[in-house]
Structure 1
Amino acid sequence: MTQTPTVVDKAIQGSRRQRFAASRWWSIGGPVGVTLLAAVLRLQSLGHPASLMFDETFYVKDAWTMLNLGYEGSWPEDPNPAFNAGQVDGFLTTASYPAHPPLGKWLIGLGIAALGPENPAGWRLGVAVAGIIAVVLVMLIAQRLWHNPTLVVIAGGLLAIDGQAIVMSRLGLLDNFLMLFALLGFGAILLDRAQSTRRLEEWLIRRSGPDGPPPWGPALWARPWLVAAGLAFGLACAVKWSGLYLIAFFAVYVLASDALARRRAGIRHWLSGTVLKQGPVAFVLMVPIAVAAYLASWTGWFVTSGGYDRNWIATGGERWTGLLAWVPDSLQNLWHWHAGIYAFHNGLSVGHPYATPAILWPFLTRPTQIYYQGSAMGENGCTWDYCSEIVWSIANPILWWAACAAALYLVYRFARYRDPRIGLILTGIAAGYLPWLLYPTRTMFQFYAIEFLPYLVLGLTAVLGLVLGSRMGSTRAVQPGAVDRALSSARADRLLALVRTRIPESWRTPSVRRRFVIVFLALVVAVSAFFYPLWTGMQTPFWFWTLHIWLPTWQ
């Protein structure tokens, strides 16, 4: 006999439907809203300032000549005033000396092709689109990591409103493309971990006998996401050579993760099986596609004859002999270009007022002033005693310092709890940051940190999730065994008991923790609003600029 629902039952069902509808709206509407916000902050007044800024003088003009010649052409002396005025056809057919591979310049060229070389917005459209896509990717990665809509919105929102992310999305440089391809590779590695763990379990079910699984384990070839990661990292190298460090760091991560997965599965020779069986497979899946992607970015150089060093052997260069004599002249010429550029970068140590060594980046010691124009009253529409127009690639200071502190905490947390998601985030930070410490005398800038900024944001999001009391969602990204889950739970309980003895009872309630996170996020938003005019070159009174000098080294 069917029981008629009571009024209370109907009320409960209605409440559940309302909560489900609200949750569904938040999980869809939140990311859409963040994406729209990121687009507005990056695209509005994109053509201002209407002049080449900082290293746009190289990459924008290179992109334009590549569209016309297929390679980077040179220019007469002091071409920028004419180029800024829309006179863009003064380039020469002789090759210029390019300091970086061509892919990033081709991508800048797409924006120029869309809007025209006379439109400054066209110079920056490609990087702006890359910056918007990066925000979307961070949210997709956060969803995969934690399956928590609130953390997804927090991660995407923090990257959407950060100053360094905004400025590097409004400037025709290469670094935003490097960041984007690195993020694509990161996401592919994350997906591979879930897929490879599942396929290892399936293999064990099929192959395990009375004596347990085979001692060496399998060589898993069906890992398409690993191929995708190699492709993404190869494209990153085709923007800047620092992408090589991404391949190296994430290859180590993949091997370590494979080894731990085999150990958890009870494979006897888990380490040697990883190194001798799965390691070579991972190399074959990742490296050839990365090399092919890199070489494909040089298509314009190969199919034309005027690129830098394109005819090095024909003009007197020494052809290889012996075992390498079979290598085509075009590849030998390309290798000579690489040798010369490596020597250039390795010895690059020129003075610059905004140069800062990588060891100081976490402290935000010397952010780069990209552009400055001062105007007295009556000049350029200035209505104050003196006005400033500044493009300043400074991160949101509160967000940046909090993210760096969160990264340090995550190092401790990973060492104690071995959360594979935290390990992956820390790998991204390490791949983008640690290699720069090897070159303390090279000329470097704070904005190079855009390469690992998304992982800092993900790390900060993880810590905010812990503050909120979240279990950080499902662990489906990498599934530990039952013993690992039990140990992790027991350790978490002990840590929670320790924390409870140190923190007053009134501070431990969920409502207080939520308020803390809300206040922190509100502070970050307020600071972004305060700095936004200086990220986009808005004209402000000079005293407004001085209010932002929080450290003496920022002047």
Structure 2
Amino acid sequence: MTTTADDLVAHPRRAPVISPGPLVPVADFGPIDRIEGWIATAIVTALAALTRLMNLGSPTDAGTPIFDEKHYAPQAWQMLHNYGVEDNPGFGLVVHPPVGKQLIAIGEALFGYNGVGWRFSSAVLGVVLVLLVVRIVRRISRSTLVGAIAGLLLIADGVSFVAARTALLDSFLTFFVVAAFGALIVDRDQMRERMHIALLEGRIAETPWGPRLGVRWWRFGAGVLLGLAFATKWSGLYYILFFGLMTLAFDVAARRAYRVPRPWVGVIRRDVGPTAYVFGLIPFAIYLASYAFWFSSETAVNRYEVGQSIGERQWYQPPDAIRSLWHYTYKAFHFHATLTNSAGNHHPWESKPWTWPMSLRPVLYAIDNTNVPGCGSASCVKAVMLVGTPAMWWLAVPVLVFTMWRAFVRRDWRYAVALTGYSAGFLPWFADIDRQMYFFYAVPMAPFLVMAIALILGDLLHAPNQGAERRTLGLIVVSCYVALVITNFAWLYPVLTGIPISPMTWNMEIWLPSWR
């Protein structure tokens, strides 16, 4: 039977429709090599414990804390002996929330008022931080090897290393922030898995805005952790904002990927309310709970301020305890707000945020060069400096440029999340340049810089459609770079730990004039 032109007009042939991408996302909800993953994690974490805990009690200032440890170690000790309450009698003002000092107090309760005691909690959480980064990068990259590389890089990062071995609040802030970040990455995978199940069950298009995703315990946990970050330092607020927007972006992307008819409306109807609860009410409740000892005290600073410096409560005002806490908090805020250069507040080791990405102006925590034995010279130098390992930090600008290109041009979510965490610790500080600032504010940026570098190394190792020679070359490049970072860290080790060195070696450790 022949086909005429009239037949073709009457019965036109249907051309096949070829989708530009998969109609259903690949069912990939996390790495599957669990045993290998935990073995690699355990090995890297053991190395972290060795570096963070070895000779933890040194150095001290003749048995007393060094640098800003002089604020927090005594306050933590006071908490142990004053029913959990601090009043900072040596400085007259408590300028940070209590959680970090409560954690320092745990170590002091175990080991006493000494270097090990006031640094123990920070060191333990510094070890766990390495574990978290291994697991997070492994999940983001879907590669146990890349996760292990990230852990090794973080171990060899001078900033993270010194922060873990000193009793300052930034190490605790960093731990809570990274833990919350990891919880949100797990939540992302879990929600996409639930969307996949809903698709297989035919529930995606039951409503124009997609299915409900159930209780999200990982996201709830992130809210608790961010509350603890906020109750450690107020800069935790920045991460609440950035991570809240990040998790909403995850929800939009998931609903679009699974062909929800109206994904944006779906996020507004299904996700915005719970997100506001998790990133608003939960952190605020955790923050208030951190002051439980203050609320229960009869003698805490400003505890009963109503009727003294503030007036009696009106019917529309919160309870007296909350008003007193507000006054207590305002005094601390006023201290921070007036700690400006224009008001005459200067410090020889202060720095501005544009110097932080490359660690151009580190912080000298301690130095002793008078009659110091132990290096073979007539007099040695013992110093502890918070400085980033140059093999990583000096690459920050090209790394960030490449990360932004991958995030915004190639729309690679892996780089986007690393950039989000880094930006939360960096960009907000530009809002008040006049304020006195220090490089240790950049401690929370370090894990996210490491994540970005590890992702780049992972792409060198696992680039698609590469031949055997290209894979071998990538392996050589990555191996050489990791070895360079570890060697660089080993070179700086004496000025990260206070090991006595000769004046000549000290001068060789100072690579830039701005390090002096």
Give the aligned partner of residue 302 of structure 1: 295
Matches within 5 A, 1:141-540: 141-206=136-201, 208=203, 212-324=205-317, 327-349=318-340, 350-376=345-371, 379-381=372-374, 383-470=376-463, 509-540=470-501
What's the CA shift for 1:203?
3.7
Aligned residue type for 1:226? R
Superposed CA deviations along residues 5-25 of structure 1, whole A, max 9, x for unmatched, are xxxxxxxxxxxxxxxxxx999
Matching residue of 1:478: none
Q: Distance in 1 between matches of 2:41 and 2:505?
A: 33
> Displacement of 1:173 after TM fit?
0.5
8 A contact 2:209–2:269 mirrored in 1: no
Question: What do the CA deviations read for 1:25-84 (whole angstroms, capped 9, x no partner)?
Answer: 96555433322221121111111113311111110000011111121134469xxxxxxx
Quick one: which amino acid aligns to residue 351 of structure 1? H
Classify the secondary structure of the residue corresponding to 1:363.
coil
Instruction: Report % sequence identity.
Output: 34
Query: Which one of the candidate residues 105, 108, 111 is aligned to 1:112?
Result: 108
Letter in 1 for 2:112: G
Aligned length: 476
Amino acid at match of 2:235: S
Instruction: Kindly indicate whether the alpha-carbon contact (under 8 Å) linking 1:319 and 1:332 is maintained by their aligned counterparts in 2.
Output: no
Q: Could you state the TM-score of these two structures normalised by the residue count of structure 1? A: 0.81
Identify the range of structure 1 (379-388 vs 327-336) with the bigger mean alpha-carbon deviation.
379-388
Distance in 1, Cα, partners of 2:267 & 2:246: 12
- Matched with 2:53 is 43
Paired amino acid for 1:43: L
Which runs of 5 or more residues in structure 2 are unaligned? 1-32
Q: How far apart, in 1, do the equivalents of 2:223 and 2:43 lie?
A: 32
- Which whole-Å deviations, capped at 9, do the CAs of 1:179-234 have from their partners, x for residues lacking one? 0000110011001111122223334555658xx45223344341111101100100
- Structure 1 unaligned segments of length 5 or more: list them: 1-22, 78-95, 472-492, 497-504
- Whether the 8 Å contact between 1:358 and 1:433 is mirrored in structure 2 is yes
Deviations 1:318-344 (A, max 9, x none): 2342422xx221111011122222222
> Aligned Cα RMSD in Å?
2.2
The C-alpha deviation readout for 1:439-487, integer Å capped at 9, x for no partner, is 211111112111121111111000001112346xxxxxxxxxxxxxxxx
Task: Give the distance between the partners of 1:203 and 1:32, measured in 2 at CA.
Answer: 36
Change (3 A) 1:263 1:154: same
* Cα 1:468–1:538 shift into 2, 3 Å: same
Structure 1 residues 200 and 511: alpha-carbon distance in aligned structure 2, compared to 1, 3 A threshold: closer
- For the residue of structure 1 that corresponds to 2:58, the secondary structure is coil
The aligned counterpart of 2:17 is none
TM-score for both structures, normalised by structure 2: 0.87
Supply the distance in 1 between the matched residues of 2:392 and 2:304 (Cα, whole angstroms). Answer: 49
Q: How is 1:540-555 mapped onto 2 (pairs within 5 angstroms)?
A: 540-555=501-516
Counterpart AA for 1:445: Y
Confirm whether residue 73 of structure 1 aligns to residue 87 of structure 2: yes
CA contact (8 A) 1:407 1:460 kept: no
User: Residues of 2 paired with 1:192 and 1:382: CA distance?
Assistant: 52
SS class of match (1:535): helix
Q: Distance in 1 between matches of 2:273 and 2:479?
A: 48
**1:475 is matched with which residue?**
none
Quick check: 2:349–2:361 contact (8 Å CA) kept in 1?
A: yes
Query: 1:333–1:374: structure 2 CA closer, same or farther, 3 Å change rule?
Result: same
The secondary structure found in structure 2 opposite 1:247 is: helix
Aligned counterparts of 1:525 and 1:317: Cα–Cα separation in 2? 56
2:450 counterpart SS class: helix
1:347-401 Cα distance to aligned partner (Å, 9 max, x none): 222201111111111122100011000024xx54563143110000001111222
